[in-house]
Amino acid sequence: MFEQDSLLARLHEIAEDGVAIGLGFNQMGQPKEHLCTYDDAWQKHYWENELIFSDPVIAFGVNNLGAVRWSDVAAGGAANAVTIARDFGLTNGIVLSVQVDGERAIAGLATRSRPSEAAITEARIVLAALQASKSGEPQIILTQRQKEVLRLIADGASAEDTAHELEIDISTVNFHKREALKKNHLHAKNFTSLLASAIRAAVI
């Protein structure tokens, strides 16, 4: 529980105006767990007006894996949950959809300003760690150099930034990423889930 509280606290540092998270979505699009910390007035308006049926955050999360800004899914001009949320002071945010061990998590994070790429990357990793925390503890094995590489990337550094910080070539950074994923392929299907598992297991 402490670990999940810590992960939620990290998301709230990114999303100062609230989060809405669904964990463990099933085939019918229903989450096993739901958490929402948006303002009460917005939540009341959202549910009373059945905005879930015009919510591009939900639509993106169900149909895609990845992360985008609210402004990217609200395009098109038609009124929807994201555009209506502006009347309640929710103007910026991130849509996240990740899958860990076959379980999908979808989140809408309300930010005070336009979220940076680094914030989006960190939020995606933290959400994956939160979803992963619902299953058994992975045994993540990393060398010291792999830990250093993953730690920097988890903090939002690019491969180029990581190479500069560690004074190694970009090709070496990519080598360490590949080797870390290969070594832990039973616990992580892709690099994002490896980062999430490494954070959850406190190895980076």
pLDDT digits (tens, 9 = 90+) for 63-107: 888 898 988 887 666 678 888 898 999 999 999 998 887 788 899
**Phi and psi of 108, rounded to 5°?**
-115, 120
Q: Could you give the CA distance from residue 91 to residue 152 in angstroms, rounded to a whole number?
A: 30
pLDDT digits (tens, 9 = 90+) for 41-60: 999 999 999 888 888 888 88
pLDDT digits (tens, 9 = 90+) for 129-144: 888 877 655 568 888 8
* Per-residue pLDDT, 4: 76
* Contact status, residue 95 vs residue 74, Cβ threshold 8 Å: no
168 DSSP assignment: S
Picking from 14, 3, 6, 9, the residue whose alpha carbon sits closest to that of residue 111 is 14
* Per-residue pLDDT, 182: 87
Q: Provide the H-helix boundaries in the chain.
A: 2-14, 40-48, 56-63, 70-73, 81-85, 117-132, 144-154, 159-166, 170-183, 191-200
Structural domains in the chain, CATH included, are 2-132 (3.30.450.80), 144-200 (1.10.10.10)
